[in-house]
Amino acid sequence: MKIIDDLSPHQVRVLGALLEKEQATPEYYPLTVNALIAACNQKSNRDPVTQLTETEVVEAIDSLAKDTLVWRSDGARTERWRQSISRRLELDPEEKAVLTLLMLRGSQTTGELRSRSTRLHAFANLGEVEGALRRLTAEGRELAVELARRPGQKENRWTHLMAGEPGGDDSGKAVSPVVVGEIRSPAGLVDRVAALEMQVAELTAAVERLGSDN
C-alpha cells in the first residue's frame, strides 16, 4: 500500500518547489503564494518548464493541505506555506535531496543527481546517491524506480513515483537525445536569481493590490 495517493503534475511541482527552497534558500522559506508561483515556473533547474497560473497553484496548495502534505505557517502577516511531505515520508537529508531533484527535473542518472544536488545536499560520492535511491525504492516505500537503460546510454536513469507509474519518456522505452553536458552557473548564482524572481513576484502583486485600492 502506498504511503500517499498519487499526485497530479501541479501538486508534484508545488511540493518540489517547496522542498527545494527549504533546502537551498531557507532564508526565503516558507513561501508566499506569489513566491511559490515564481519557484514553480523557474526557467532554471526545471524539466519541464511550466507556466502555472495563480489559480492552478492555489488549487494544488488547497488539495495538498487537505492531505496535510503542506501547511500554512503561523504568525506571518502574509500567508506563507511549508511542505510537510518530508515528515510524512520520513525522508533523511540524502533522500530528500534526491527526491526533490527527481520531482523538479524528471528522470536522471546517479551522476546527474550528484552534480545537481550541491545546493541541496553535499554527496561525498556516487555511492551515497545510489544508497539514497535504493532506500527510496525499498519495499513499503516505493517512492522511486530505476528505469531500463535506453539504447545508446551507458547509465540507467531513475524517476520518482509520486504521480504513479512513469509513462512516456520515463517509461524507459522512448529514446531522447543524450545530454552531453549542461551549462553550469557560478555557485550560488541560480539561488540568487531564483530569490530575486520571488521578490519581484511579491512586489508586483503588492503594486497591483495598491492600484486596485485607489
pLDDT at 174 over 80: no
pTM: 0.80
Q: Could you report the per-residue pLDDT of 5-15, keeping only the tens digit for each?
A: 999 999 999 99
Distance of CA 51 to CAs 4, 39, 43, 146, Å?
26, 11, 10, 29
Percent of the chain topping pLDDT 90: 69
Does the pLDDT at position 172 exceed 60? no
Q: What is the pLDDT of residues 132-160, one digit of tens each?
A: 999 999 999 999 999 988 788 889 999 99
Q: Is the pLDDT of residue 211 over 60?
A: no
Per-residue pLDDT band for 187 (boundaries 50, 70, 90) equals very low
Mean of pLDDT over the chain: 86
Residue range 50-77, pLDDT digits in tens: 999 999 999 999 999 999 999 999 776 7
Distances in Å between the Cα of 132 and the Cα atoms of 69, 76, 135, 143, 166 are: 21, 35, 5, 11, 19
Element (H, E) at 133: helix 126-136
Q: Which pLDDT belongs to residue 180?
A: 31
Q: How confident is the model at residue 2 (pLDDT cuts 50, 70, 90)?
A: confident
Distance CA 111, CA 51 (A): 28
Which has the minimum average pLDDT: 44-58, 103-117, 182-196? 182-196
Q: Is pLDDT at 78 greater than 90 in this prediction?
A: no
Give residue 74's pLDDT.
79
Angstrom distances, CA of residue 95 to CA of 60, 71, 114, 144: 23, 21, 12, 10
Burial 173-191 (b: 16+ CB within 10 A, else e): eeeeeeeeeeeeeeeeebb
Per-residue pLDDT at 169: 57
Classify domain 93-168 by CATH number: 1.10.10.10
